[in-house]
Amino acid sequence: MPEVPTSPSVAMSNPLLTENSKSFSVKSDWAHWSVLYGASGLFALICAVFLISIIVSSIPAWHHSGLSIIYGRVWSQGSNSFGALPIIAGTLATTAIALFFAIPIGIGSALAIVHVVPGRLRVFLSSLVELLAAVPSVVYGLWGLLVLAPWFEHTVEPDLANITGHRFPFQAPPEGVSLLLAGCVLFIMILPMIVALSRDAISIVAHDQFEGALSVGATKWQVIRKVVLPGARNGIVGAVTLATARALGETVAVAMVIGLNPLFPPSLFATASTLASTIALQFQDATPLQVAALGALALILMTMTAVVNWFGRRLVRGLAFRVGVI
């Protein structure tokens, strides 16, 4: 006798089939969530172990110098004096110089790529930006040392000193390798990041909003200022936050062009030092106590980066509240 095929309605009404499908669904969900929770738990464990190891390695330095590691003004490995305030100041100064140039130029370039540049040139410039973002930092450092440093020493820094009458912050003799050069190299390094991320944020603003504002008589600049920038500001803030964290933690390129002088720079033309470059260059020949001091610098740098990320998230959340997204 031929077998009669089972219709879908019959299969659905079969309690055995329904029970099997429920059991399979529960098992697949359990496996799915187990993988997700396991991956997130492993990530949290790695972060916790990393942070705890940095804290533990820096404990001898905190016992030796206390909070003077943060506010002390003398950093000398020979005398075991670990005052990192000039190094912190150098880190903040180079980052501020880089952001001073990178934020307006980066956002302006992103706006131009999306709304001004013709299509074929837009593709070329976007590819160029992504290529520059992938260049290793040592290449930027070598370029700054071989090309920019002589130009700064013989042209840029003397001209700035003459224009300002050798007043602060341009009163020191030009040296080429300097705090100003390090900030400018950082500016060139973080610029592609700001351009690329801001371009992506600007490009997702609804095209019909842009065209609708133009159709009611607004100029292109008014549309960019009133429609595009407010719509993309969360992404732009995120781009600036990531660029700031990159500038704070940059090591090789800055170490090649800043001069590695752990003193307060009296001028932008003076040599200085940053937290990351100090850690990288003093670690190899350090004693156990000095290694602990470098661990304290790493902890300070991590704290500064965490504060920048927290501030960026708070700013994005505040902007979202203002526009009613949250």
Q: Each residue of 136-156: pLDDT tens digit?
A: 999 999 999 999 999 999 999
Residue 131 structure tokens: 């290529």
Q: Which of 303, 257, 11, 266 is nearest to 153 (CA)?
A: 257
Looking at residue 138, its pLDDT comes to 93
Looking at residue 326, its pLDDT comes to 47
212 pLDDT above the threshold of 80: no
43 pLDDT above the threshold of 90: yes
Looking at residue 206, its pLDDT comes to 64
3 pLDDT above the threshold of 60: no
- The pLDDT tens digits of the residues spanning 81-101 come to 899 999 999 999 999 999 999
How far, in whole angstroms, is CA 96 from its chain's centroid?
A: 13
Residue that wins the pLDDT comparison between 247 and 220: 247
Long-range contacts for 284-292 (Cβ within 8 Å, ≥24 apart)?
A: 286/77, 287/77, 288/60, 289/60, 289/61, 289/64, 289/80, 290/77, 290/80, 291/57, 292/57, 292/58, 292/59, 292/60, 292/61, 292/64
Range ranked top by mean pLDDT from 31-35, 61-65, 163-167: 61-65
The model's confidence at residue 322, banded by pLDDT at 50, 70 and 90, is low
Range ranked top by mean pLDDT from 207-211, 297-301, 317-321: 297-301
Q: What is the mean pLDDT of the chain?
A: 85
Residue that wins the pLDDT comparison between 204 and 3: 204
Looking at residue 19, its pLDDT comes to 55
Tell me the C-alpha distance between 182 and 98, whole Å.
9
Tell me the mean pLDDT in the region 254-270.
Answer: 91
Tell me the mean pLDDT in the region 131-140.
Answer: 91
Looking at residue 268, its pLDDT comes to 92
Range ranked top by mean pLDDT from 1-5, 115-119, 296-300, 321-325: 296-300
Looking at residue 23, its pLDDT comes to 56
11 pLDDT above the threshold of 50: no
The model's confidence at residue 27, banded by pLDDT at 50, 70 and 90, is low
The H or E element containing residue 177 is none
User: Alpha helices of the chain — where are they, by DSSP H?
Assistant: 8-13, 15-65, 68-71, 85-115, 119-133, 137-143, 149-151, 157-163, 179-203, 207-215, 220-223, 229-249, 252-257, 275-282, 288-323
The model's confidence at residue 205, banded by pLDDT at 50, 70 and 90, is confident
Tell me the C-alpha distance between 142 and 148, whole Å.
9
Looking at residue 304, its pLDDT comes to 94
62 pLDDT above the threshold of 70: yes
Looking at residue 325, its pLDDT comes to 47
Amino acid letter at 240?
V
User: Which residues have C-beta within 8 Å of that of residue 120, sequence separation ≥ 6?
Assistant: none
Contact criterion met (CB below 8 Å) for 267 and 171: yes
Tell me the C-alpha distance between 25 and 66, whole Å.
57
Looking at residue 18, its pLDDT comes to 55
Map residue 123 onto helix, strand or coil: helix
Tell me the C-alpha distance between 248 and 24, whole Å.
50
Contact criterion met (CB below 8 Å) for 294 and 286: yes
- Residue 70: is it exposed, middle or buried by C-beta count within 10 angstroms (0-12/13-18/19+)? middle
Check residue 250 and report its DSSP letter: -
Looking at residue 28, its pLDDT comes to 62
Tell me the C-alpha distance between 221 and 223, whole Å.
5
**Torsion sign over Cα 150, 151, 154, 157:** negative
Distances in Å between the alpha carbon of 125 and those of 114, 119, 121, 184, 259? 10, 10, 6, 21, 34
Tell me the mean pLDDT in the region 185-195.
Answer: 94
Residue that wins the pLDDT comparison between 192 and 316: 192
Tell me the C-alpha distance between 181 and 164, whole Å.
18
